[in-house]
Structure 1
Amino acid sequence: MNRPIIDMDQIKQLKIQLTEFMMMYKFALDEMETRITILQEEFELLQDYSPIEHVKTRLKSPESIFNKVIRKNMKADLQQIKETINDIAGIRITCAFVSDIYKLEEMLRKQTDMEVLSVKDYIKKPKDNGYRSLHMIIRVPVYTSSKQGHICVEVQIRTIAMDFWASLEHKIFYKYERNVPVHLLEELTEASHSAAALDHKMEKLHLEMIEVKQQHSSEKNLSEIKLDQLRLNNETFKIPQKLIEQLQQLPDK
């Protein structure tokens, strides 16, 4: 039996194409992660609070992508894959409170050089198994030395309680190879309800904390506030008194 002739030049070209394909998704993730980090630092510097607790990125392997292509009965065409499969690059953002999720969604929508293609709100309408999270498909601009493109990134935003439940559910399904006993499925659903109740209670506490903080700030003596200092990158900078005086004389914008 004759073996097929291997065209090394063709294989090298295919490898370059696949590398460029995966590279663009990696860069799209880098871009999204940088934007999230900027939002996080902005809140920490200006408000002493950030709605973002944790950020985790994930890039599907070529094998995982190809398996999905087979399941969808698609051709192994990179352009078609780009247009059809939107979760090759993924980023998961964990927040402390449900209100933070929608606050972050709004901030991402305001970045007009990115395009929000779709939003699935599994918080207001959870999946049947109890899964809760906010999913966004965002088209992110990516620029390299030779080309530019717009790459889809799946963004999942959830609370710590939602993330804990989703992680537990994934481990159970993996352990039982998706054949999970009925009683465990029922307990998972009950746990989801408990997680939702916890989120609701934590949200209530969060609102009460905001009220207390605002009241404390209004009662705080001006002498206690260090108006001549600012902090960036864990460094304290002294603001010259003359600069403060000049800034005070500028008209309000």
Structure 2
Amino acid sequence: MRAFRESFARFIMPYKFGIDEVTTKVSILREEFSELHEYNPIEHISSRLKSAESIEQKIVRKQCEPSYDAIRESITDIAGVRIVCSFVSDVYHVFDLLTAQEDVHVLRVKDYIAAPKPNGYKSLHAIVEIPVFLSEGSVLVPVEIQLRTVAMDFWASLEHKIYYKYDGDVPAGILRDLTAAADTANDLDVTMEKLHHQVRGAGPTDGIPIAI
């Protein structure tokens, strides 16, 4: 057991440091906007590192070989960072600023804002690769970044709690109400962004879907 704990710690540690690298980058952008600009598009930042149990469950679902090399290759969301922005246009703006940095390599993007999931889920997902410098040299670590608005984040949090309560088997009536709530959240995003641009004296700018 001690050998397993040590090997797992060695495996998981770069992912933790990958989270640290990304959150530092986002925190720097957030502080710069707060101190030097009239408007800060980043509301808050959170992160999560998959537990050994969560990784094991994903190994089973993906039918992945239970070796560290295979896990590194197949599971790219072990490290995750969530960035909550004020408005939809901010989501794309922050994404562009973050991925323009020379040591951030975009591997994959899924734009669930431009093309929401059937249940109404909206968010911009990206898998990026970040160099982490260790005593033995640098390693490239994949980190999943989710960017969404406050309204999208509130809806997603509620959706997660509902699916957890019903163990994934959510009654049809609740699913209909949840989808309707997603439409309401979208209407709120559109209205609030329009008001925001009116107050700032600028014309509204629509977020441009990203395809990579």
Assess same fold via TM > 0.5. Answer: yes
What TM-score does the superposition give when structure 2 sets the normalisation length? Answer: 0.92
1:88 alignment counterpart: 78
Aligned length: 202
**Equivalent position to 1:188, from 151, 165, 178:** 178
Aligned equivalent of 1:30: 20
Report the TM-score when normalising by structure 1.
Answer: 0.77
Q: Distance in 2 between matches of 1:118 and 1:179?
A: 30
The answer to whether structure 1 residue 179 and structure 2 residue 181 are counterparts is no
1:24-103 equivalent positions in 2, closer than 5 A: 24-103=14-93
**How far does residue 13 in structure 1 lie from its aligned partner after superposition?**
4.0
Question: What does residue range 64-143 of structure 1 map to in structure 2 within 5 Å?
Answer: 64-143=54-133
- What is the distance in 2 between the residues matched to 1:177 and 1:18? 29
TM-superposed CA distance for 1:16, in Å, is 2.5
Report SS of the residue matched to 1:135. strand
Measured in 1, the distance between the counterparts of 2:31 and 2:108 equals: 27
What residue is the counterpart of 1:169 in the other structure?
Answer: 159
Which one has the largest radius of gyration? 1
The runs of 5 or more residues in structure 1 that have no matched partner are: 1-10, 213-253
- AA aligned to 2:187 is A
Residues 102-135 of structure 1: per-residue CA shift (max 9 Å, x gap): 0011101211111000111111110000000000
1:15 — aligned with what? 5
Question: In the alignment, which of 170, 188, 206 is matched to residue 198 of structure 1?
Answer: 188
Q: Secondary structure at the match of 1:93?
A: strand
Distance in 2 of aligned mates of 1:147 and 1:19? 17
1:245 aligned partner:
none
Matched residue type, 2:58: K
Could you list the per-position Cα deviations for residues 192-242 of structure 1 after superposition, in whole angstroms to 9, with x for gaps in the alignment?
001000000011011112118xxxxxxxxxxxxxxxxxxxxxxxxxxxxxx
- Secondary structure of the 2:110 match is strand
Segments of 5+ residues of structure 2 without an aligned counterpart are 203-212
Identify the match of residue 211 of structure 1 among 198, 201, 208.
201
Cα root mean square deviation, aligned: 1.2
**TM-aligned CA deviation for residue 12 of structure 1:** 4.3
What corresponds to 1:218 in structure 2? none
Higher relative contact order (CA 8 A, sep 6+): 2
> Is 2:144 aligned against 1:154?
yes
The answer as to whether partners of 2:18 and 2:141 remain within 8 angstroms in 1 is: yes
Residues 231-242 of structure 1 correspond to what in structure 2 (within 5 A)? none
